[in-house]
Structure formats: C-alpha cells, structure tokens
Chains A and B, each alone.
Chain A
Amino acid sequence: MLTIAGREFRSRLFGGTGKFASAEVMRDALAASGTEMVTVALRRVDLADPADDIMRVLDRERYLLLPNTSGARDAGEAIRLAHLARAAGGTPWLKLEVTPDPRTLLPDPVETLKATEELVKDGFIVLPYMNADPILALRLQDVGAAAVMPLGSPIGTNQGIVTAFQVRIIIEQARVPVVVDAGLGAPSHAALAMEMGADAVLVNTAIAVSGDPVRMARAFAMAVAAGRDAYEAGLGEARDNASASSPETGLDFLR
C-alpha cells in the first residue's frame, strides 16, 4: 500500500482533471481509473458562467483533492495560490508547480525549493513538481516535501520517460514516495515508470484527450497495476548473450 504523509492509497494512479471534454466524461474516466487522488487548479471564477463548477461532479468522499499551483511563475505566486487552495478545499495537500516559461512549462528549481520550505513550515503537505534532478529531489525531501514528483517529459507532451536515467537515481535515493508526473502519453509509459520502482504516477492529458477517456483510464489503471506487480515480483536482468529457456541437455538422440 502506498502511504504519503500518513495517508494510504490503494491506487498508485493519480488523476488530473484538466482538458476533459465535459465534467461528466471526467467523472466517468476518474471512476474507471480507480484513482483516489485528483489534481485541480485554481482560477478566477468565470462570471459569464457562474454555474460552471467542477466540484459539483467531484465526490470528495472518494477523491482526495490535490490542488495545484499551476500558473505560478515564482515562489510568491505559488504561495498565494497555495493559501487560496487551502481556503477553497479545506485541505493542506498541495501539488506545488512553479513554471516561469510557458513554452516548456519546466519547473523552476530554485523557486520550487524556496516555496516548498516555506509552505511546509506553514503546515502544507507539499508534493513538488520538479525536473528529474536527483540532487534537487534530496534537497526537497530535506526541507519536508511529502513526496517528489519528477517529470517524465514536459507537461502535455506525451513523450514518456525521457528522463529515465535521472528518475532511476531519484527512486534509488528517495526516502519519500516518488510520483512520476507529466509527459506519460501511453499506458506503457506508466508501466515502465512503475517497473522502475516509482511509487505512483500522475496522468492527465493522455486520458483526457483520448478518443475514449473512460477506456484509456482503465488501460492506465491496468498498466500501473501491472508495472507495480512486475517491480514487486522482481525483473530479470538484461544481458548481452542468450540464455536458453529450454533444457540444453537431452538432445543426444539428434546427433
């Protein structure tokens, strides 16, 4: 069972709520994914459409809300969003995102570390989205991050784990759970992250923009479970030379 900040999760797939065609499709896809934690963002209310409220379809009994600070460009903006999130959701859980560059949406390591430290002191349960930097992961856990969320590839790119070398080191060294976040475009990418020993993955775009989000959510759920089983069972080592699967003896009758 996965435990983050003392809370247990049966599912190792965390879901995003962005980019779905409708609130109803999102609700059904999240249900099919089996997830128990979902991210949400904070924005100004659209005063032209006051009834447009995602929370009317999100069952708070079923899902732990993980508000994000998406859109923040520095620690100050992220901290302001964090406090609004805590007031809106009544929860100290927070996915910290500080992404100053809209083209790459890569996280700012300095501002992320600064904000993590301050928010932890203020009682938040902080899960920082970070570049796959093993040293930064250690620094974030040292200042009290409840988990670290290294990116597989930039947000929404569907490129899978292009940071595999660094993610492996992060997993090896981490004392807090490692959640591979961002860029996982296919169930096989999620399975790979889990086979590598990631504690969980967070998937949004790949499910939300699929032709059939409910079915894709189910595919990701199976991939995550398969990858975790494989990791726990223990994968064989890759080798250069063949190793026969069938007995090499008992062939005397042929020659």
Chain B
Amino acid sequence: MKILCNGVERTLAPQTKLVDLLHDLGLEPDTVVAECDGVILRREAYDTHLLTDGSVLELIRFVGGG
C-alpha cells in the first residue's frame, strides 16, 4: 500500500502500524506529533494505529523559532 508521509509517497507493507513506520524512519515516537488524515493522534495510539492505503501522514516536531 502507499501513503503520503510528509509530502513524500512511501510504499508500506499492509497492516503497518504507525509505531513501526516511526522506528523504520529512525524516529523516537515521543519526539514527534502525528497527524493522520487531518486528525492528531494521541501518543498512546501510536502503538496500535494502523496506516491504511492512501493515508496522508504528517510528522511534526518542535524546531527553533522566535
């Protein structure tokens, strides 16, 4: 299946959980906020949330700013 992650298309195995994708990307789950199809996911949901074909995922974090 295909998803759009931070604007880039990625091919994932079916039934991929968000937490697995984060680990594949080298991201510590506690350091990012995930918005999937416009809905912000609670941190507790990362471990069980199943990504689906066509999902639009945004991974966001704090950066330096004024």
Quick one: which of A37-57 are within 8 Å of B by CB?
39-45, 47, 50-51, 53-55
Q: CB of B12 within 8 A of chain A? A: no
Interface residues on A, range: 20 to 34
Contact B61 A88 (CB under 8 A): yes
> Interface 1/0s, chain A 192-212, versus B by CB < 8 A?
000000000010110000000
Q: CB of B59 within 8 A of chain A? A: yes
Question: Is chain A's binding surface mostly helix, strand, loop or mixed?
Answer: mixed
| Bound: A16/B66 CA distance, A | 4
| Bound: A65/B62 CA distance, A | 10
Interface residues on B, range: 20 to 34
Quick one: which of B6-51 are within 8 Å of A by CB?
6-8, 25-28, 31-33, 35, 40, 42
A45 surroundings in chain B (CB, below 8 A): 6, 27, 32, 59-61
Contact A42 B64 (CB under 8 A): no
Tell which of A16, A47, A53, A89 touches B65, judged by Cβ atoms closer than 8 Å: A16
Q: Which residues of A approach B to under 8 Å, CB–CB?
A: 16-20, 26, 39-45, 47, 50-51, 53-55, 65, 67-68, 70, 83-84, 87-89, 155-156, 182, 202, 204-205
Q: Which residues of B approach A to under 8 Å, CB–CB?
A: 5-8, 25-28, 31-33, 35, 40, 42, 58-66
